[in-house]
Structure 1
Amino acid sequence: MDSLGLFILLMLLCLQWTAAHAAEDTPWTYKGLVGQSEWSQYFPACGGTSQSPVDVMTTQTKYDPNLIPLTPLGYGQHGNNPFTLHNNGHTVVIELPDWMGIGGLPWLFTAAQMHLHWGSGGPSHGGSEHTINGLSADAELHVVHYNSELYPNMSTAMTKRDGLAVLGVLIVTGEETNPGFNNIINYLSRVRHADQKVFIPAFDIQSLLPQDLGRYYRYNGSLTTPPCYQSVIWSVFHERVQISKAQLLKMETLLYSTKSEEPERMLLQDNYRATQPLNHRVVFASFTAESGKELSSGEVTAIVIGVMCGCVGLAVIVRFIVKTIRFFKLLHHETVAVNSSTSSWDVLHNNRPAPMPRMKEPEKAKEKKQDLALNSTSAGERKDEPSASPQTEP
């Protein structure tokens, strides 16, 4: 009886192990028979309560002053050994050497690999896995590390709750080509089909990251692909990285999810998982809302130019107003001056004396002659008066 019970127990364990490995080997897709909605049926962890990616609502994040800037370790020390570029049918993967790692986390994490996620509709049509305030980017880069301080390898660490640390980099498109991403995109044509691998020249992995590594969002989540183990410490950078539209187009159209021997070719597109519920998880931020409003150099330049133009415009308006005021003041002074130069007789014409009537010229002459005659007569009389007095004889 004991032997029979032991035999049954071994059979059950064998069946469980076989079922687990069978599930891990189940081919899955983003759309189709074993698409995202069916992942949890074959991979139970995909139905967990701490799944990734998530939508980061910035107004609901919590500032954590203990989140220090992340420090890439050995990202630029690639040496002469090439990297391996691999199309696994779901994405394109670059295997990273074990001397690379990331600092700024509770434990030492060693780099394992990095891969990309993208869409199919070009710019502004989505393609990233994480979203910020409901808005997705055009693509997303994941740099995967495992906890080498606690676990011996990636396989063991990925099953532990604190086993992995992934950097999430949101990618947007613009006019300028990103030379860092050309180190990957220029070699995609050599791994067009699933299971193809190629060696590519090593390059500085930090050239793919944003310049500001101090502002990011932190939460506990999972792998975004089956088996969806909930073992990831996520750090999603606030700053976006820009690539050109041509680079995004190559990413979306060069690769196939099918093998080269398969007759029907299927483009490798829309390889991103939909956002998952937070389920009472908290997304922490390494920066406050005020510091999150810091602007890039281009935005600062635009603001400075705008302020300068505004100041010039304001100066022109003030100058115009001042000149207008001076003009009206001058016009007022000139009006007062003209009014003050007018004769008081014109202003007070009622008080002006009436003019004397003019005498005719003959009358004046006659009057003058009469005056002369009278004067001469008076003079004669005064002359004859002494001779007329009587003389006295002795």
Structure 2
Amino acid sequence: MDSLGLFILLILLCFQWRAAPAADVSWTYTGLVGQTEWAQYFPECAGTSQSPIDVVSTQTKYDPSLTPVTPLGYSQLGHRPFTLSNNGHTAVIELPDWMGLEGLPWLFTAVQMHLHWGSGGPSHGGSEHTINGLSADAELHVVHYNSELYSNMSEAVAQRNGLAVLGILIVTGEKTNPAFNNILHYLSRIRHADQKVYIPAFEIRSLLPKDLGRFYRYNGSLTTPPCYQSVIWTLFHERVQISNAQLLKLETILYSSKAGETERMLLQDNYRAPQPLNHRLVFTSFTADSGKELSSGEVTAIVIGVMCGCVGLAVIVRFIVKTIRFFTLLHRETVVVNSSTSSWDVLPSNRPAPMPRMKEPEKAKEAKQDVALSTSPAGAQKEEAPSVPPAQTEP
């Protein structure tokens, strides 16, 4: 073998040696091959269009052309059970190929769905995507491949627009979600890595939000190695709620270690940190006003507040009516009393002062005498003339 052939052989051996670790490496979320080291073994993980991301609502763009996604066959049970398995990283349910997704530029066929969660219980994070910096308690992913452009998942996984993934944020509350019990009830049968079990088929639609018309859309990647940047992401704005007990079961029942291993490792915190958005733009199918979603607690609080407000308003109206009636009645009584009162009492300043009663007869007598004198003057003259004795005649 000449030197050129030896050089080529060494180059090939070098490439094989570099490729072997990426194919055989057992990656984890933390530790020696944790997510901060993924790019050393899987170069795509250092790409500029990685997932998950933090969706900042003020930096999104409304796109009126985005139509609601339409699940195909999600409400059908089929005749075959589902396969539930523990792959050491998450719990996976394989989906039949007669399930699919419309509402995207192409038709996509369902492949599988899986979950991501944390370890601290409610309000401690666990979702991969965040909205305005806030994470949910868990996240469900439903994976599809582009069946119009590619013949199978293996062919589509590394191609542009090859995959479409639905992201459903999960929060916790007091109420149990029966749909998720179709999965959680069987986790005890796949507690260790590489274990699988058949479970009864159920309606996958029951796991999704009721509102499929409000969502965020962006181009991203797989959130696990090899991190291929081939995913059209649809992250629903509406959250799905499970109970605190259901979340606790999800966080504490599975192991990332195999059944034969002596050291058991709980399968927890299997979520990737948000990646830089870089040059990408996140589109929304709803405006800021229409996109506001209220939780069940907020709706209950609003209903109670409205009821209390109505009761308070009724009390105020009744008080006002009673007050008006009181003053109206008081006014009427005042009018009645005033109408029965003498005008002299109403205008006391115009009333003449009463004359003393003792002097009234004397004045009246004097007045009568004056009248009598004025009406008979001849008589008066007679009375006033002095009496003259008659003259005597001399004999």
Report what 1:384 is aligned to: none
**1:337 Cα deviation after fit:** 4.1
Contact 1:24 1:227 in 2 (8 A): no
Please say if residues 92 and 116 of structure 1, whose CA atoms lie closer than 8 Å, have aligned partners that are also in contact: yes
CA offsets, 1:111-168, max 9 Å, x none?
A: 1111100011111111111111111111100011111222222222111121111110
Task: Tell me, in whole angstroms, the C-alpha distance in 2 between the residues paired with 1:355 and 1:280.
Answer: 114
Range that drifts further, 70-79 or 340-349 = 340-349
**Deviations, residues 157-191 of structure 1 (Å, cap 9, x unaligned):** 11112111111011111222212111110000001
> Which residue identity lines up with residue 155 of structure 2 in the other structure?
T
The residue that corresponds to 2:173 in the other structure is 174
Q: Which amino acid aligns with 1:173?
A: T
Distance (Å, rounded) in 2 between the aligned partners of 1:158 and 1:295: 36
2:125 matched residue in structure 1 = 126
Offset of residue 305 of structure 1? 5.6
Change (3 A) 1:72 1:260: same
The residue number in structure 1 matching 2:353 is: 351
One-letter amino acid of the structure 1 residue matched with residue 219 of structure 2:
N
Q: Residue type of the partner of 1:15? A: C
Match of 1:12 in 2: 11
Task: Give the aligned partner of residue 108 of structure 2.
Answer: 109
**What is the CA–CA distance in structure 2 between the aligned matches of 1:334 and 1:8, rounded to whole Å?**
120
| d(CA) in 2 for partners of 1:243, 1:45 | 34
Aligned to 1:60: 59
- Which amino acid letter does the alignment assign opposite residue 151 of structure 1? Y
1:99 equivalent in structure 2: 98
Tell me the TM-score normalized by structure 1.
0.83
Q: 1:243 deviation in Å?
A: 1.2
- Give the match's secondary structure for 2:141: strand
Shift of the 4–329 alpha-carbon distance from structure 1 to 2, 3 Å rule, reads same
Distance 1:352 1:17 in 2: 136
Partner Cα separation in structure 1 for residue 296 and residue 249 of structure 2: 29
2:291 aligned counterpart, secondary structure: helix
- Which residue number corresponds to residue 274 of structure 1? 273
Mean CA deviation greater in 44-53 or 10-19: 10-19
Which residue of structure 1 aligns with residue 49 of structure 2? 50
In structure 2, distance between residues paired with 1:167 and 1:5 = 51
TM-score (norm 2): 0.83
Q: CA deviation at 1:344?
A: 5.2
> Which deviates the most, 4-13 or 271-280?
4-13
Range moving further from structure 2, 257-266 or 181-190: 257-266
Q: Paired residue for 2:381? A: none
Tell me the residue number matched to 1:30.
29
1:196-229 CA-to-partner distances (Å, cap 9, x unmatched) read 1111122221111112112111000111111111
Report what 1:194 is aligned to.
Answer: 193
- Partner residue of 1:381? none
* Matches of 1:178 and 1:295, distance apart in 2: 18
The CA RMSD measured in Å over matched residues stands at 2.4
Deviation at 1:21?
3.5
Identity of aligned residues (%): 76
Between the aligned partners of 1:21 and 1:288, the Cα distance in structure 2 is 48
Distance 1:165 1:344, change over 3 A: closer
CA contact under 8 A between 2:53 and 2:130: conserved in structure 1? yes
1:212 aligns with 2:211: yes
> Which residue matches 1:326?
325
- C-alpha distance in 2, partners of 1:212/1:10? 58
Consecutive unaligned residues in structure 2, runs of 5 or more = 362-395
2:259 equivalent to 1:260: yes
Structure-2 separation of matches of 1:163 and 1:289 = 30
CA drift at 1:336 = 4.9
2:52·2:272 contact (CA, 8 Å) conserved in 1? Answer: yes
Is 1:158–2:157 an aligned residue pair? yes
CA distance in 2 between partners of 1:164 and 1:358 (Å): 125
Change (3 A) 1:58 1:345: closer
Which shows bigger deviation, 58-67 or 225-234? 58-67
The number of residues matched between the two structures is 358
Contact 2:257 2:265 in 1 (8 A): yes
| 8 Å CA contact 1:24, 1:43 repeated in 2 | no
Partner of 2:373: none
Structure 1 position 313, deviation (Å): 2.3
Q: Quick one: which amino acid aligns to residue 71 of structure 1? A: T
Take 1:298 and 1:33, find their aligned partners in 2: how far apart are those partners? 42
Distance 1:279 1:301, change over 3 A: same
Distance in 2 (CA, whole Å) between partners of 1:155 and 1:137 is: 31
